[in-house]
Amino acid sequence: MRCQHFLSVLLCIPVLVCLSVLPLGCAALEARAEVFSVHTEEFPPFNYTENGRIVGASTEIVEAIMRSSGYEYHLESHPWARAYELAKSGKNTLIYSIGRTPKREEDFKWIGILVPSVHSVFALKERSDIVINSLNDLSHYTIGTTINDVRESYLVSRGFDVRSLQRIGGESAYIMNYLKLMKGRIDLWPMPDAVMSYIVRKTGDDPETVVRKVYELSEISRGGYYLAAGRATSEDVVVRLQASLEVFRLTQDYQEIINRWGL
């Protein structure tokens, strides 16, 4: 009888152990089941909407690392200022493609660089009267910017009066600034080189014959565009995404994305 009782106790132990760890397992599964809101803007070729889907070089990378990390997510495209605030204030929120600046540093937890970027100031090729030898020379001309984007923020941080800038917002802000440049309503157009080229070609023009680079914003061209998380996002999530991104950047798939999008 004693032997039978002992065997019964032994058989119960695995069940008790399983029951004791079940809450922990459920908590882990529940945490992984949370859905992340991933915010972005219309910023081709990095991220933009085509045929009802958000696509682009950065989008492909973000989706790859979200899948490899095991997190559920949904992508949302908004005008930049709104995307920024939603990602900054929400829980389980991410944002891309975002430039990293001192002013933005404390607003987010920075996961890592998605894509390289070069930021420049462009003018119409026919405007031979525009001569830029220093950052301060930009102030002699009318500059078209997108509200709260990294180039506008940089200019303001370097002493440019925001009231002197021709600012526009909304999902079509970048292409609208190019059209304003073409119509002579602005003299200068600060943009990433890759975005400039994409927008100009999309309108049917040739970047080589229509615009010219007059100045490179070298201080914000270092590094690239980031994926970042809202401050309320847990450190465990940030660390997992950082690891996934670091691994993915070493793969042939990552290099294929960079090459295919001409970055």
Average per-residue pLDDT for the chain: 89
More confident residue, 14 or 249: 249
Token pair for 195: 């975005």
Residues in the chain: 263
Distance CA 148, CA 152 (A): 6
| Residues in Cβ contact with 230 at an 8 Å cutoff, skipping those fewer than 6 apart | 87, 88, 89, 90, 91, 92, 93, 94, 95, 108, 109
Stretch 96-121: mean pLDDT: 95
Domain boundaries in the chain?
A: 33-117+223-260, 119-221
- pLDDT per residue as tens digits for the range 238-248: 999 999 999 99
User: Largest alpha-carbon pair distance within the chain?
Assistant: 104
Model confidence at 171: pLDDT above 70: yes
Identify the architecture of domain 33-117+223-260 in CATH.
3-Layer(aba) Sandwich (3.40)
**Residue 16 pLDDT > 90, yes or no?**
no
Is residue 60 within 8 Å of 257, Cβ to Cβ?
Answer: yes
Which pLDDT score, from 0 to 100, does residue 6 have? Answer: 36
With 80 as the cut, is the pLDDT of residue 1 above it?
no
User: CA 196, CA 57: separation in Å to the nearest integer?
Assistant: 15
Indicate if the pLDDT at residue 15 is higher than 70: no
pLDDT tens digits, 174-232: 999 999 999 999 999 999 999 999 999 999 999 999 999 999 999 888 789 999 999 99
Kindly state the tokens that stand for 61. Answer: 């990378």
> Which residues on neighbouring strands pair with residue 167, listed in sequence order?
145
Element (H or E) spanning 237, and its range? helix 235-248
Helix, strand, coil percentages for the chain (3-state, nearest 5): 50, 25, 25
- Rounded Cα gap, residues 89 and 108, in angstroms: 9
Q: Using one digit for the tens of pLDDT, what is the confidence trace for 155-169?
A: 999 999 999 999 999
Assess whether pLDDT exceeds 50 at residue 129. Answer: yes
Cβ atoms 122, 189 nearer than 8 A: yes
% of the chain exceeding 70 in pLDDT: 87
Three state DSSP letters for 57-99: HHHHHHHHHHHHHCCEEEEEECCHHHHHHHHHHCCCEEEEEEE
Please state the rounded mean pLDDT for residues 116-120: 94
Q: pLDDT band for 31, please (50, 70, 90 cuts).
A: very low
Q: Name the least confident of 10-19, 21-30, 126-135.
A: 10-19
Report angle CA 200, 201, 206 to the nearest 5 degrees.
Answer: 80
**Closest of 171, 173, 178, 202 to residue 42, by C-alpha:** 171
- Fold of the domain built from segment(s) 119-221: D-Maltodextrin-Binding Protein; domain 2 (3.40.190)
